[in-house]
Chain A
Amino acid sequence: MPQSYRLQGKGRLTPAKGLRFSFDGKHYSGLQGDTLASALLANGVHLVGRSFKYHRPRGFLSAGAEEPNALVTVQRDAARKTPNVRATVQELYDGLDAHSQNRWPSLSFDVGAVNDLAGSMFSAGFYYKTFMWPKSAWKNVYEPKIRAAAGLGVSPDQPDPDHYSARFAHCEVLVIGGGAAGIAAARAAAESGLRVILADEQAELGGALRFESGASIDGMDGWSWAQEAARSLAGMPNVRVLTRTTAFGYYAQNFVGLVERVSDHLASPGGALPRERLWQVRAKRVVLATGAIERHLVFAENDRPGIMLASAARAYLNHNGVAVGRNVGIYTAGDSGYAAAIDLKKAGAGVAAIVDLRDNPTGALVDEARSLGIEINHGRAVVRTAGKLRVSSMTIRPKNGGAERTIAVDALLMSAGWTPSVHLFSQSRGRLAFDAESRRFLPSDYAQDCVAVGACNGTETLEATVAEASKAGEQAAKAAGGKTAKAVAPKVDASESWAGGMVGSGPGAGPDDTVKAFVDFQNDVTAKDIRLAVREGMRSIEHVKRFTTNGMATDQGKTSNMHGLAIAADALGKEIPQVGLTTFRPPYTPVTFGAIIGHARGPLFDPTRRTAIHPWAEANGAVFEDVGQWKRAWYFPRQGEDMHAAVNRECETVRKAAGLFDASTLGKIEVVGPDAAKFMELMYTNPWEKLEAGRCRYGIMLREDGFIYDDGVVGRLAADRFHVTTTTGGAARVMNMMEDYLQTEFPHLNVWLTSISEQWAVIAVQGPKSREIIEPLVEGIDMSDGAMPHMSVREGKICGVPTRLFRMSFTGDRGFEVNVPADYGQAVWEALWAEGRKHGACAYGTEAMHVLRAEKGYIIVGQDTDGTVTPSDAGLDWAIGKKKTDFVGIRGLTRPDLVAKGRKQLVGLKTKDPNVVLEEGAQIVADPRQPVPMTMIGHVTSSYWSQNCGRSIALALVAGGQGRMGETLYVPMPDRTIEVEVTGMVFFDEAGGRLHG
């Protein structure tokens, strides 16, 4: 029976444009323009899912984004499996392959449905109460089992092969929602010529006009008017119409997040198109035309497949040409149910009966239904339904009790009225007010430059909606600076009304009834659960929500929140506004991680920074390590060498001959101006005024609290110019801190800071042969010890290009750092390498650099310090200018706890067994025989095997360390306790003669 529920001549799809698709392995046909939902309904398929907790059979509740039940997995290939797709919004494409979720072994026979029989066990708060003991079982048994049983779809297990993109966009007027209101507002705003963006989640503009058969505008039926308007808007150069685009988040200052589904509706998206595109829009004015969502009625067994919203059935009928049943019952609290009954009856589908909660309904729709011969049962309620995998009957009775009557149906439509979609308004921090008469929350006080129009603002007729929206669009453009002619509002010839309805539970689902009357379909929350939450002491709606999980599913309670609130208010004996409303948070509908990530994946996940010398290191076999965003050469293994062998060789070679090291990643700041020295005096602990041009000094920078923030060698190039180096990791934050102090604390100083980290490539040449290697390549610099002693800087040329040549050492041997403009870095390195090879030099990496500096007790900020170490703790008192009266941190250094005895201080550690290398981070104790937990007096900060010392060496922070020289301490490890001796921090060349030649 191919598409046997598709009615000839009904709907707007073209019968010739057929598509094939499959659901749970079974093949079906549908039409271009169908959603997966409408196509399944055309084939008479209502059963599409199992509920979250009770595994009850479920069908389509809606025809839109609010769908709580019809979640399916759409699979394009092994890697493209998207779980939890709402079948009501997934557009059909040829070959679409969809699968139901949360059922085993099959959708029609699901073992998990035993939960439904044991329903009394699974009441609200069940998880909190039941799975408490024993504690370990939560992690190992309960949580994994519950997660598996109470499931949504399964996450894809392969990397997402699709790509996603992002755009920032700006406009004067952003209109959200492309129904009658949004179109009217966009047209009016667009008259001004200003930039207008109109975003709508559907494939085509029209909103409720999709199903409203009773609307007529400007002499056209509503839908045709919308399509005509969409065409004219799209043709305007100042207007961008984004369909399939959901505004999911409304952030500060009219910043709105939109996600555009670019290719999920295509059979073959192709490689060029992104799957989704994130739009981050900054709008001067926002017009919210987000419409309203119909509510279901809360009665016993209101969740069987075939029971759905009246407006959904109308959308399937009037747009897709699909009858949701052949003998349809209607249960309504207002006029909306009548409109559905009339549409179905006129289309030739059988209507069993209308059941109306109102005692004495009147009006044109009631009259029309009656004249069409539809049975109307007013003052009555549906109190029960039957049907295993699809509704087969409804049982009705007078709403205040009385004789029951069962009517056979194959579908049951419900309408409790309409809830304005105030999600985005609420996200904008606007305040909602409860309208007691219509029993709904409406926008009241605006927090941003936006305005709500139409159904989301509680406006009930089409005439009023388009008038209000036109005016709002015009005013938004004017407020955004547009000089618009007076917009002409569309003329509404015929209209439907959205008024009326009820909130809360219906007859037969009251406090004394023990029935499953569902409030929240996706989380299986019943009216009874909400009353239980109140009985158990929940008073705030926020607590009721969390206890019952009402509104906490992926649909975020679009259909359930108002009912839940009304039932809780009733149980508490309070008015709805006294109980409050839960907070609306982004996203409005689920957003994929892909859309959020956009371009930021693979090589664009985070910038990878490489130095100018990187290609040489790569070509010469370097193993790299990540240092922040930088790739740094870690060590250069030769054939057959492991890391230790390579590092040992590199360390030995540097001290015997020389080594070349790429230090380009060091932060560098040029400090220039007549007050440069004054500024340096304030930022560093050291004295600078008297440092001569051409000389260098090791500087320490503190935070205001007196702890070490950064360090580095600073060269004075001229009276008014310093070349400051920072740690690699500190480059950006040191620059920021300096700039911060300069602008806020020292604005009187005439000095400017410029980052030159990337202007200069830095080649460290260290070791006894370093001068011989550099000298032949240099012009204009006398490198003799007399002319260029340790800690000096010269400007001149190397290999014909400018250099700032520093004589300085981070190894304790004679050393230089050759700074050259970055583009020359590799060429100069290659020239130095050629010279170096003549002297037996090697290239060394960051690991050997670490070992060599540790042999000399040179600290690394961030490794040997951790933000709680003062210069005194690190043995660097000498670096504090004793005569200085001010520098950042000077007052911090005098704090009582910073001068107290027993502070942790940096010391050297030698293991009693020289072959044992301590673990960095290992804790240190004074007495290994004390009971656990032991008193820990410090920890190891740096530890290496030192080939040059022929033993292991370590630095450690130890309480009162500088007073413990020669003491034996202990490092307890899981398998043994290591004995260590406290020593000074210098392990190699204690006299320091090698620095000078």
Chain B
Amino acid sequence: MSRLAKQLDLPPLPRGLSPVRRYRNLGFPYRAPSTPRGVAVAPETANRGADYDTAWARKYPARLARAAIVDGPMRLAVFGLAAPDRRGQDRLASLQSAAIFAANHHSHLDTPLLLTSIPEPWRHQILVGAAADYFFGTRLTSALSSLVIGAIPIERSRVSRRSADQAAELAAQGWSLLLFPEGGRSPDGWGQPFRGGAAYLAQKSGRPVVPIHIEGTGRILRKGRSLPQPSTASVTFGKPLVPASAENTVRFAARIEAEVAALADEASSDWYQARVRAHARATPQLTGPTTGAWRRAWSLGDRSRRARQRKRRWPNL
């Protein structure tokens, strides 16, 4: 028994217990107290979740550190895992201001992939909308998310305008935002319906929305997996979209989703055929066919451009 335990008059522990087990067996005051029944719990004021203050991560020392991380190890890791094929960056040539980048979402790799793909001058002046309940669950994850990817908390589990208003304010201040309007990673490789966040922010801040389609990251690190499997991915940027004067949030969100679907079509076929289908309103939906699970999984196999374009081993003579 240790001297400290003696001083505190702690009960003796059975012989042979490890220090970890000993700590676990310790009660209050070494562990958090339990709440008596019938007592109302005061609202938690902890600095995490949607309440986490990320202002420090937008100051120059943190931005410098983030730039070093993004352009150094993050770029190397993305190249090693995904060897990304980046297309359509020229569509941003006439974009003069900050923007809201809205992409489909397959994997945790999507954020590093996009942070290393979005060109200058937006790359180092961008914040990532991250799920408050996931990335800001603890102080450690909150700090890391803010520092490494420039995350700002976005509520997705309950209806709240607070996080959206904060994001709109930042966009109005000249920060670009990277959002995943599906609200979470794809559970089965197909897309999910777009929520209205990106459209709402665009209307509130007056910033254009750049639709982005990501393909292939689901093969590398899909939802539910913890270890990445190197493969290839592609990122296709679309033309910036500006909400029309009579367009409400729901319609604008639908237009963003349609543009991302057209980009997906472009990535899996070619640009001209995708445009023909877009004009004929025959673009395949991001959310995939409304069939049984196995048929959805089956039709997913056709969507990879690389799967269809086998490498030619011999020249055509």
A binds B: no
